[in-house]
Structure 1
Amino acid sequence: MIRHTVAFRLKHPSGSAAEQDFLRAACALAKIEGVQKFECLRQTSLKNSFTFGLSMEFANEAAYAFYSEHPEHSRFVQERWIPEVAEFMELDYVTCVP
């Protein structure tokens, strides 16, 4: 299992229609085959400047690669993510057993 997460801050004003439209578009990524446990999250900690997060899981590396290369994901990144996201941090996890 791979858990793909990204924390981000938008260029849009908080609570704006543009912010909501971006989040709706981001949530549409959940429809891509192989995406599991998709969540769109609002950051509550004051310890960083990010305001939102996306989290999703993939069964394996092949499913994650399929998502990453999917035309809908690529289109979202080019048309929405790059122009509208001010800053982000991407983290990918696999289960760690000590």
Structure 2
Amino acid sequence: MIRHTVAFRLKHPLGSAAEHDFLRAACALAKIEGVQKFECLRQTSGKNSFTFGLSMEFADEAAYFFYSGHPEHTAFVQQRWIPEVAEFMELDYVAYAP
């Protein structure tokens, strides 16, 4: 299992229609085959400058790479993410077994 997460801050004003439209478009990524446990999250901590997060899981590396290269994901990155996200941090996890 791979857990893909990204914390981000948008260029749009908080609560704006543009912010809402971006988040709605981001949530549509949940429909891509292989995406599991998709969540769109609002940051509540003041410990960093990020305001939102996305989290999803993939059964395996093949499902993760299918998502990463999927035309809907790559179009979202080019047409929405790059122009509208001010900053982000991406983290991908697998379970740690000591």
| TM-score, structure 2 normalization | 0.99
1:5 is displaced (CA, Å) by 0.1
Match of 2:63 in 1: 63
Match of 1:16 in 2: 16
Structure 1 residue 43 corresponds to structure 2 residue 50: no
Percent sequence identity over matched residues?
A: 88
Q: Which runs of 5+ in 2 are unaligned?
A: none
1:97 is displaced (CA, Å) by 1.9
Structure 1 residue 73 corresponds to structure 2 residue 73: yes
1:31 is displaced (CA, Å) by 0.1
Structure 1 residue 82 corresponds to structure 2 residue 82: yes
Corresponding letter in the other structure for 1:76? F
Once the two structures are superposed, residues 48-92 of structure 1 have per-residue CA deviations (whole angstroms, 9 ceiling, x without a partner) of 000000000000000000000000000000000000000000000
Partner SS for 1:63 = helix
RMSD of Structure 2 on Structure 1 (CA):
0.3
Corresponding letter in the other structure for 2:91? L
Corresponding letter in the other structure for 2:57? E
Q: Which runs of 4+ in 1 moved over 6 A?
A: none
Q: Distance in 2 between matches of 1:37 and 1:19?
A: 22
Match of 1:3 in 2: 3
